[in-house]
Structure 1
Amino acid sequence: MDFDRINQKLDILADAAKYDVSCSSSGGTRKNDNKGLGNSHASGICHTYTEDGRCVSLLKILLTNHCIFDCAYCVSRKSNDIQRAAFTVEEVVSLTINFYRRNYIEGLFLSSGIFKNADFTMERLLRVVKKLRLEERFNGYIHLKTIPGASDELIREAGLYADRMSINLEMPTETGLKLLAPDKSHADVIKPLGLVQKQIVQYGEEKKLIKSVPKFVPAGQSTQIVVGATPETDKDIMHTAAAYYREFSLKRVYYSGYIPISYDSRLPVIGTQPPLTRENRLYQTDWLLRFYGFHVNELLNDQNPHLDIDIDPKLSWALRNLQCFPVDLNTAAYQMILRVPGIGVDSAKKIVAARQFGKLRIDQIKKIGVAYNRARYFIRCADSPYQMKEYQHTQIKSFILAESESKYLKVAQNQMTLF
C-alpha cells in the first residue's frame, strides 16, 4: 500500500468533509459479543465532549470529492478548481480499522461527492459499511450519508449496517435550492427520508414480536440546512425544520452557516466568517421547539421573521409577551415554568418537585440552578420584593444585556490577572 498516497488522499477528503456538520450525534447501541471489534454506545460518537468530560471522535471523510453536480455553495462542485481524490472501498475499511485500533477514533462518518450517478456512489458506500460489519466484525458507530436519487434497494440494505443515516436538505426552500443547485430538488431528499423512516417503524414493530429482527438505522436520521446562502428568513428556516421533524421523526436538524468557497454571482457577498451568531440562535430555537413546547409561530412570525441577534429566542419571546408574566413558581404549571428565561428543563422539574414540601423562596430558587439574574424579571416567589410589571420590555432587555456584559468583562479581567 502506498502510504504517502493514502495520506495525501486523507488530507484532501477529510478537509472536504468538514463542511458537513450533521455528524455529531449517535444514540445507537451496538454491543460487542467478544467476536468482533469495538462498541457503539448510546451516549454517542461525535466531535464534542460527553458529560464526564470525555472527548469522542470519528473518522470523518468523503469517499471522493469528485462530483457531477455544480452546486454553487459546495466546495466539491465540479467547476471548482481543487485537488481531487477518491478512496477505494478497501482503503476506507483499512483506515477505519487501523485508526480504531490505535484509539484515534470510535467510529466512522462517511459521505461522498456523486460520481457517475447516485446508484454507483451509493453502492460503494454500501460496500464499505458491509465489509466493515461482516468481514471486519466492526461494532463501532457508523454514520452514513444517503445519496439523493439512489435506489430504494441500496438504501434499505445500507440501513441494516449503519447506526445513523442522513441526507442534506441543503437550502431551506425549493426556490433557494433551484437557484444554487438547479440539478437537485427537495423531492430527492424527501423520498429516501420517507423510505428510511418507514423501515425504522416497520423493523421496530417486528422487533416487538421477533427478537432476532436486525437493527435498522437504530440512531435515526438527520439532515442539514445551509444558512445565509439564500435569502430565506429565520421563520422560513424553522418552519422547514419543524415540518421535517414532524413528518420524518428526525433526530436532529443541523444548521450550517454559509461559508464562501468560491465566487458566484448567485451567492451573497459576505465576509470570510460564516454567520455564527445567527446559526447559534437557530439552534437555540430548535431546542425550544423540541424540548420546551414552543411552536414556530410563537417565536417567529410575519411581524418578527428574524431572530434577535442580541438576545436568545426564549428571552425575546418573553419580552414580547409580558402579559404572561410574572409566573408564580409556587403555583404555575410545569409548561409555563419552562417558558421563563433563565429556567431550563432540569431546573423546572426540580421546582415542581421541591414546591411539594413548602413555598419556594429566592435563595432556594438560586440553589436549584435557576439563572436568577435573568429570571427575576419574570417570576414571583414567596419573598419576591417587587412585581415585574414595574418595568417595560426595553428596560428589562437593557438590564439583562448590561448584566451579561458586566459578567463577561469580569471574567476577562480575572483571566488577565493570571498573566
Structure 2
Amino acid sequence: MDADRITEKLNILADAAKYDVSCSSSGSKRKNENKGLGNASNGICHSYTEDGRCVSLLKILLTNHCIFDCAYCVSRKSNDIKRAAFTVQEVVDLTINFYRRNYIEGLFLSSGIFKDADFTMERLVRVAKKLRLEHNFHGYIHLKSIPGASDELMNEAGLYADRLSVNLEMPTEAGLKLLAPDKSHQEMIKPMGYLKNAIIKHTEEKKLFKKAPIFAPAGQSTQVIIGATPENDNQILHSANYFYKNFKLKRVYYSGYVPVLEDSRLPALNTSVPMVRENRLYQADWLMRNYGFHVSEIVNNHQPHLDLDIDPKLSWAIRNMQEFPIDVNRADLKIILRVPGIGVLSAQKIVSARKFGKLNWEHLKRMGVSVNRAKYFITCQSKEFERRDLTGNAIKQFILATSHSKYIKNVHTQLNLF
C-alpha cells in the first residue's frame, strides 16, 4: 500500500463525506465472539453515545466519482474537483488499522455512483463482508444503500451492516426534480420498502430460531437537505412523518444546505441555512418520536414555520395555554410529557414518586425538571411560583430573558477562568 497515495485518497474522500450527517446509530447489538475485533453496542453514534461517551467512526466515500449531476452535491459529475477511489481492500485495511490504533469504533461508508447502482453497491457490500468474515470485525458498520441496487445486494448488505440508509436528499419530489432531474423519490422508496420488510421478517425469524442471522440490527435511516429548495418546515416534517410511519425508520436526519457550487437553481453562495433552524427540526422530530406529539400539532398550514426563538415544545404550550396549568400530582403521563422543562425521564420519575407522597418544587428540581420553564404550566404542593395572570407572549419573553441572563452569566464565568 502506497502510504502517500492512501493518505491523499483519505483526505479527498473523507472531506467529501462530511456533507452526509446521517451517520449516527442506535440499537445495534452485535456480540463479539471467538475473540474477534471490536464490539457494536447500544447507542453507538458518530459523536456521543447515550451514556455520554464520545466515539468516532471512519467516515469516508468509496469514491467521489459519480454519474449523476445533482446541483447540490460537491461530487456532481460536472464539478471540477480532484477525484479519487478506494479499492475494497484499501477500505478494509484502513478500518482495521485505524481500529487497532484506537482511532475509531466503526465505519460509515458511502459512495458516489461508479457506473451503475449494482456495480457500486456490490463493492460496498464486499467491504462489510470482508471485515466480518475475514477479519472477524464486530465493530459498528453503517452502509449507505444505493437506490436501484438489486434486492439480492440489499439483503446481503443487511446481513453484514448494522445500519443501512437511503438518502431522500430533498424533502419533496418537486425539489428533487428541480436539482436532481435524473433521480426520483420512487427509486429511493423501493429499497426502503425492501429493508422494512426484510427487517420485520428477520426479527420474526430470530424470535423462532435462536441461530437465525441478525439483519441490520440498528435499522434504517435517511437524510434530507434543508434550505436548498423552498420547502417550509411543515412540508419537511410531514414528509419525515410519512417515512417514519410507513417505513419504520429509526431516524430522519436534517442537513442544512451548505453552499458549495454556483448554480441558478440554488441559493446564493453567501447564503447558508441558520444552524438554529436545523436544531429546531431535530427538536420537533424528537417530539414526534418520543413525546407523543402529532406532526400537525407542531406545524401546519396556518403555522408552517418553526419558531426560531424558542423550542417547538414551548411554542406548542404557549399556543395552547387552555391546557394549563396541570397538577403534576394528578395528571396523566401523556400531558406531563407536554410540559416545557420536563423530559421523558423526569416525567416518569414524577409518576413513580407521587405514589409515595405529594411532590413540591424542591422534589421536581431534584428529578431534573427545569423549574424556570415548567413553573408557568404546572402546579404542585407548593405555591411558591404560582402566577396565572400571564399571557403566552409574556411567558415567552420571561423565558427568553432568563435564558439570555444564564448565557451572559456563563460567559462571564468562562472569562473569569482565564
Flag structure 2 segments of 5+ consecutive residues without an equivalent.
none
Worse overlay, 272-281 or 290-299: 272-281
Letter of the 1:6 counterpart = I
1:49 alignment partner, SS class: coil
Whole-Å separation in 2 of the counterparts to 1:283 and 1:248: 19
Whole-Å separation in 2 of the counterparts to 1:241 and 1:59: 27
Aligned-pair distance for 1:138? 1.3
Counterpart of 1:267 in structure 2 is 266
> TM-score, normalised to structure 1's length?
0.97
Aligned-pair distance for 1:35? 4.2
Aligned-pair distance for 1:383? 2.1
2:159 alignment partner, SS class: coil
Counterpart of 1:2 in structure 2 is 2
Counterpart of 1:323 in structure 2 is 322
Aligned-pair distance for 1:272? 5.7
Flag structure 1 segments of 5+ consecutive residues without an equivalent.
none
Counterpart of 1:34 in structure 2 is 34
2:160 alignment partner, SS class: coil
Counterpart of 2:77 in structure 1 is 78
Q: How is 1:20-419 mapped onto 2 (pairs within 5 angstroms)?
A: 20-44=20-44, 46-269=45-268, 271=270, 273-385=272-384, 388-419=387-418
Aligned-pair distance for 1:43? 3.0
2:91 alignment partner, SS class: helix
Aligned-pair distance for 1:18? 0.6
Worse overlay, 20-29 or 377-386: 377-386
**1:8-38, Cα deviation, whole Å (9 max, x unpaired):** 0000000000110101113212122124222
1:48 alignment partner, SS class: coil
Worse overlay, 114-123 or 304-313: 114-123
1:409 alignment partner, SS class: helix
2:318 alignment partner, SS class: helix
Aligned-pair distance for 1:387? 5.0
Whole-Å separation in 1 of the counterparts to 2:368 and 2:39: 35
**1:212-265, Cα deviation, whole Å (9 max, x unpaired):** 211111110000010111111101000011111111111111000000011110
Letter of the 1:3 counterpart = A
Q: Is the 8 A contact 1:260 1:272 kept in 2?
A: yes
> TM-score, normalised to structure 2's length?
0.97
1:222 alignment partner, SS class: strand
Q: 1:96 to 1:55 in 2, by over 3 A?
A: same
Whole-Å separation in 2 of the counterparts to 1:343 and 1:403: 17
Aligned-pair distance for 1:394? 1.2
Letter of the 1:306 counterpart = H
Whole-Å separation in 1 of the counterparts to 2:105 and 2:310: 37
Letter of the 1:33 counterpart = E
Equivalenced residues, count: 418
Whole-Å separation in 1 of the counterparts to 2:214 and 2:239: 29
Aligned-pair distance for 1:130? 1.2
Whole-Å separation in 1 of the counterparts to 2:154 and 2:236: 27
Q: Is the 8 A contact 1:26 1:141 kept in 2?
A: no
Counterpart of 1:16 in structure 2 is 16
Q: Is the 8 A contact 2:165 2:221 kept in 1?
A: yes
Whole-Å separation in 1 of the counterparts to 2:49 and 2:134: 31
Aligned-pair distance for 1:49? 2.6
Whole-Å separation in 2 of the counterparts to 1:341 and 1:130: 46
1:159 alignment partner, SS class: helix
